[in-house]
């Protein structure tokens, strides 16, 4: 079983829509949770850390459910520039990356 | 923008050649990492380092080797390149050394796209 599993998508949504997706992780001892964004053929970049109480950064909201071992990302009022692959990242003493969820926002 | 650099950005080389992929960071980070990523696939950790003279193998077995003689520099070497080594190699760094309890954001370099013919 992979340490981090994500729905690969793609999620194809119109501009202005809300899109949400989850990832599940297998190591219950994990302490750090992140969402990274990776554009095609580019390096991953941190989108946001995920805190136990959930957190918001502009149009992006992340939630953590430790009991069910999943984290979620919600994007509101999606923009064309949100088109990317979103990587779920989980770790304790080292980080494990999911394969990513691809989001395509169309005009 | 993260201050982490990788050279070369692209490398096409013949089988059997020895290659070294360079990675440098100017952030003073103790932790550094090498990942391998094939197109559309997840990142796989192949090496990491907690600080100078510390290197560990990652989750994915790799024929490459690394060294950490200086904090800012973490080169990866393949003694004899093969077509199976064709991939993108991403270097990253983060704050904190061995024993740091919290795991901090990793900053990634732009990657080296390696093709072995």
Return the C-alpha torsion angle A30, A31, A35, A40, nearest 10. -50
pLDDT confidence bin for B96, thresholds 50/70/90: low
State pLDDT tens for residues B1-53: 669 999 999 999 999 999 999 999 999 999 999 999 998 888 999 999 999 99
Separation of alpha carbons B92 and B90, rounded Å: 7
pLDDT confidence bin for A85, thresholds 50/70/90: very high
Query: Hey, what are A41's tokens?
Result: 């053929």
Separation of alpha carbons A74 and A71, rounded Å: 10
Shortest CA distance from A5: residue in chain B: B42
Separation of alpha carbons B77 and A88, rounded Å: 29
C-beta of residue B66 within 8 angstroms of C-beta of residue B54 = no
Q: With an 8 Å Cβ cutoff, are A44 and B90 in contact?
A: yes
Q: With an 8 Å Cβ cutoff, are A94 and B45 in contact?
A: yes
Residue B101 pLDDT > 80: no
**What radius of gyration do chain B's Cα atoms show?**
14
- Please state which of the ranges A84-88, B13-17, B87-91, B105-109 shows the lowest mean pLDDT: B105-109
Q: Which of A95, A98, A100, A101 to mutate to test the interface with B (most CBs of B within 10 A)?
A: A95
Shortest CA distance from B47: residue in chain A: A94
Q: With an 8 Å Cβ cutoff, are B42 and A97 in contact?
A: yes
Cα atoms found within 13 Å of the Cα of residue A64, Cβ hemisphere only: 21
**pLDDT given for residue A64 in this prediction:** 96
Separation of alpha carbons A39 and B11, rounded Å: 21
Shortest CA distance from A43: residue in chain B: B110
């Amino acid at each position: 079983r992979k340490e981090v599993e994500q729905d690969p998508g793609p999620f194809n949504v119109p501009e202005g829509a809300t899109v949400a997706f989850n990832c599940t992780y297998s190591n219950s001892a994990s302490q750090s949770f992140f969402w990274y964004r990776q554009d095609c053929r580019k390096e991953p970049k941190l989108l946001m850390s995920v805190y136990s109480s959930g957190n918001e950064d502009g149009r992006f909201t992340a939630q953590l459910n430790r009991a069910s071992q999943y984290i979620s990302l919600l994007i509101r009022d999606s923009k064309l520039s949100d088109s990317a692959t979103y990587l779920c990242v989980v770790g304790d003493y080292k980080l494990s990356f999911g394969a990513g969820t691809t989001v395509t926002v169309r005009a | 923008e993260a201050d982490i650099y990788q050279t070369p950005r692209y490398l096409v080389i013949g089988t059997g050649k020895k290659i070294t992929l360079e990675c440098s960071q100017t952030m003073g980070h103790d932790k550094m990492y090498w990942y391998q990523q094939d197109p559309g696939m997840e990142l796989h950790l192949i090496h990491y380092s907690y600080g100078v003279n510390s290197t560990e193998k990652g989750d994915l077995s790799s024929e490459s080797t690394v060294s950490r003689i200086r904090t800012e520099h973490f080169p990866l070497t393949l003694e004899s390149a093969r077509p199976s080594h064709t991939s993108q190699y991403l270097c990253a760094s983060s704050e904190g050394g061995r024993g740091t309890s919290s795991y901090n954001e990793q900053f990634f370099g732009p990657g080296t796209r390696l093709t072995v013919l």
